[in-house]
Amino acid sequence: MAKKLYVGNLSYNTTEDSLRNLFSQYGSVTSAKIIFDRESGNSKGFGFVEMGTDEEASAAIAGTNGADLDGRQLRVNEAMDKPTRRGGSNGGYSSGNNW
């Protein structure tokens, strides 16, 4: 079963290809994604790599956490599930007349 890893402290020059190449040394990489800011288009400095198996993910964490990539020391660990957002589209404000 595939396991998703969080990769932090990425250089703004790091590409998804270079991330995939680094992690492929430890097994099959299902996906490699760098997160970009919607407005500026710049990297947010983190991304996610999905490894093919739990064993490959463990090897990748051991081999890449603290490793240098594009002049930055990577922080790599198992990704946490994204928390669910609560509330509707009104931003938490009541739609009634409260004044």
Render pLDDT for 69-83 as a digit per residue (tens, 0 to 9): 999 999 999 998 877
Rounded CA separation 65/76 (Å): 5
Question: Is residue 91 one of the residues assigned to a domain?
Answer: no
CATH number of the domain where residue 38 is located: 3.30.70.330
Helix (H) or strand (E) holding 20: helix 16-23
Q: Which residue has the tokens 């919607």?
A: 38
Question: Is residue 9 one of the residues assigned to a domain?
Answer: yes
Question: Is residue 18 one of the residues assigned to a domain?
Answer: yes
Question: Is residue 29 one of the residues assigned to a domain?
Answer: yes
Question: Is residue 73 one of the residues assigned to a domain?
Answer: yes
Question: Is residue 16 one of the residues assigned to a domain?
Answer: yes
Question: How many domains would you assign to the chain?
Answer: 1
Of residues 92 and 68, which shows the higher confidence score?
68
Torsion over CA of 85, 90, 93 and 97, rounded to 10 degrees? -150
Q: Which residue has the tokens 């922080």?
A: 75
Render pLDDT for 21-63 as a digit per residue (tens, 0 to 9): 999 999 999 999 999 999 999 999 999 999 999 999 999 999 9
| Domain containing residue 68 | 3-78
